Amino acid sequence: MATSFVPTLERFRATFSELGSRDDALVLVADGAGDSVDGYLLGFVHPTFYADAPVACVEELAVHSAARRHGVGRRLLESFEEWAHSHGARLVALATRRAGAFYSALGYEESAAYFRKTL
């Protein structure tokens, strides 16, 4: 997974616990063989003005390289879309640098540039 920051186990555990208690967040995990994880998705639903409804955002989607091209990412994304729809979301948005073809194949359209500023 490409990351600008180095995650720590302590912070991961705290964040995972917090996310589990939020109604506006969803963490999906694709189990692999044994104790391994094939992939995961973290997303949120939040109210917006521009869509005149809530919008769902995929914050993180990662699939282990050995599990790619086996439908893991597709299933994670489809499950998230169902959850987002059940929470009234009008659309799903996400940012990607490397997986444009994957998202296009699932019906996503390129919409905007993504900017960020590290604080």
The torsion defined by the Cα of 57, 78, 15 and 94, in degrees rounded to 10, comes to: -30
Question: Could you tell me if 65 and 19 are in contact, meaning their C-beta atoms sit under 8 angstroms apart?
Answer: no
**Does residue 70 lie within any of the structural domains?**
yes
Instruction: Find the CATH number of the domain harbouring 39.
Output: 3.40.630.30
Instruction: State the DSSP code for 10.
Output: H
What SS3 state is found at 79?
helix
Whether 71 maps to a domain, the answer reads yes
Is residue 92 very low, low, confident or very high in pLDDT (cuts 50, 70, 90)? very high
Range(s) of the domain holding residue 74: 9-105
Q: Report pLDDT digits (tens) over 50-61.
A: 999 999 999 999
> pTM for the complete prediction?
0.89
**Lowest pLDDT segment from 54-58, 69-73, 94-98:** 94-98
pLDDT of residue 110: 92
Q: Is residue 36 part of a domain?
A: yes
Domain count, the chain: 1
3-state secondary structure of 20: helix
